[in-house]
């Protein structure tokens, strides 16, 4: 899983380095696919449930599952959440990051900063003996303190031989509640935080892309994390 995580992390980082005004989301997608294959992996998203891309490319008010397109070009001031996974040796890695396209508004930059910190707080709570509610509480308490909405309908998940395994890992919850965390569990921890309401809309025509209900921006950060008898181990690291 470390190798699957390494390839996934490299694909995310290198694809993110290409983010700039004028580039199409399909160009980002093809770059990520080629890199994953060159590293000996298989794109985990391509064909998954019929999905047509190797990345999810979700722009501004799109929360998750944005479909790459030759006709969608990034603009100055946008944000784009890139979610990408790789399969290596039958094991899956999964990670996401929200990138600024050029200069973004200060309030948007703050959304990204807080959502990233939500992820790190959640990872810190992913310790043997804690419970899933501790992870969700870490995200929810910070995000809502900052006045943001935490997405309810879409959550993190267990991961291993399959991309989505039990248990679900909500980004909301109460301390001390839910499944007990044990050494050896591997989770995809992925806060999805909206600038406005937590409510979602869609998917619509493309059957995939999920939007914020109020059309305000959303950010998404994700790491694949192993529970150990010590500190959490981030597997999506190069």
DSSP letter string, the chain: -HHHHHHHHHHHHHHHHT--TT-BHHHHHHHHHHHHHHTT-EESSTTGGG---SEEEEETTEEE-PPP-TT-B--TT-EEEEEEEEEETTEEEEEEEEEE-SS--HHHHHHHHHHHHHHHHHHHT--TT-BHHHHHHHHHHHHHHTTPEEPSSS-EEE-SSSSSEEEEE-S---TT-SSBP-TT-EEEE--EEESS-S-EE---TTS--EEETT---EEE-BEEEE--SSS-EESS--
The residue behind tokens 């989505």 is: 164
The whole-number pLDDT of residue 18 equals: 98
Asked whether the predicted pLDDT for residue 128 surpasses 80, the reply is yes
The whole-number pLDDT of residue 115 equals: 98
Mean pLDDT of the chain: 98
Question: Using an 8 Å Cβ cutoff, are 229 and 183 in contact?
Answer: yes
Asked whether the predicted pLDDT for residue 36 surpasses 90, the reply is yes
Per CATH, the number for 2-234 is 3.90.230.10
Cross-strand partners of 99: 80
Residues 234 and 18: their CA atoms lie apart, in Å, by 24
| Paired sense of beta strands 192-194 and 218-220, if any | antiparallel
Asked whether the predicted pLDDT for residue 96 surpasses 80, the reply is yes
The whole-number pLDDT of residue 238 equals: 76
Asked whether the predicted pLDDT for residue 149 surpasses 80, the reply is yes
CA dist list (Å): 228 to 52, 175, 184, 203:
35, 19, 6, 37
Paired tokens of 143: 């995000």
Q: Kindly indicate the confidence band of residue 185, based on its pLDDT and cuts at 50, 70 and 90.
A: very high
Domain ranges (residues) in the chain? 2-234
Residues 154-171 pLDDT 10s: 999 999 999 999 999 999
Residues 86 and 92: their CA atoms lie apart, in Å, by 6
Residues 7-18 pLDDT 10s: 999 999 999 999
Average pLDDT of span 90-110: 98
Cross-strand partners of 64: 210
Q: How far is CA 124 from the centre of its chain?
A: 17
pLDDT > 70 in the chain, percent: 100
Question: Using an 8 Å Cβ cutoff, are 189 and 222 in contact?
Answer: yes
Residues 227 and 238: their CA atoms lie apart, in Å, by 18
The whole-number pLDDT of residue 233 equals: 98
Asked whether the predicted pLDDT for residue 198 surpasses 80, the reply is yes
């Amino acid at each position: 899983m470390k190798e699957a995580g390494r390839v996934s992390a490299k694909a995310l980082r290198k694809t993110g380095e290409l983010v700039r005004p004028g580039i199409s989301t399909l160009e980002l997608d093809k770059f990520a696919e080629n890199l994953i294959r060159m590293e000996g992996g298989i794109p985990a998203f391509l064909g998954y449930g019929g999905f047509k891309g190797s990345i999810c490319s979700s722009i501004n008010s799109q929360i998750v599952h944005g479909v790459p397109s030759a006709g969608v070009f990034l603009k100055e001031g946008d944000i784009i959440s890139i979610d990408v996974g790789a399969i290596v040796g039958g094991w899956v890695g999964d990670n996401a990051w929200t990138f600024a396209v050029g200069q973004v508004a200060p309030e948007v930059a703050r959304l990204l900063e807080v959502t990233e910190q939500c992820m790190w707080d959640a990872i810190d709570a992913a310790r043997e003996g804690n419970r899933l509610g501790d992870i969700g509480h870490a995200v929810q308490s910070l995000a809502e303190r900052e006045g943001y909405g935490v997405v309810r309908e879409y959550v993190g998940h267990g991961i291993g031989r399959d991309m989505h395994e039990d248990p679900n890992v909500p980004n909301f919850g109460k301390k001390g509640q839910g499944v007990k965390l044990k050494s050896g569990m591997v989770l995809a921890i992925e806060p999805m935080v909206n600038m406005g309401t937590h409510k979602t809309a869609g998917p619509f025509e493309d059957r995939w892309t999920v939007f914020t209900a109020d059309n305000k921006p959303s950010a998404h950060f994700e790491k694949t994390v192993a529970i150990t008898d010590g500190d959490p181990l981030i597997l999506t690291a190069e």
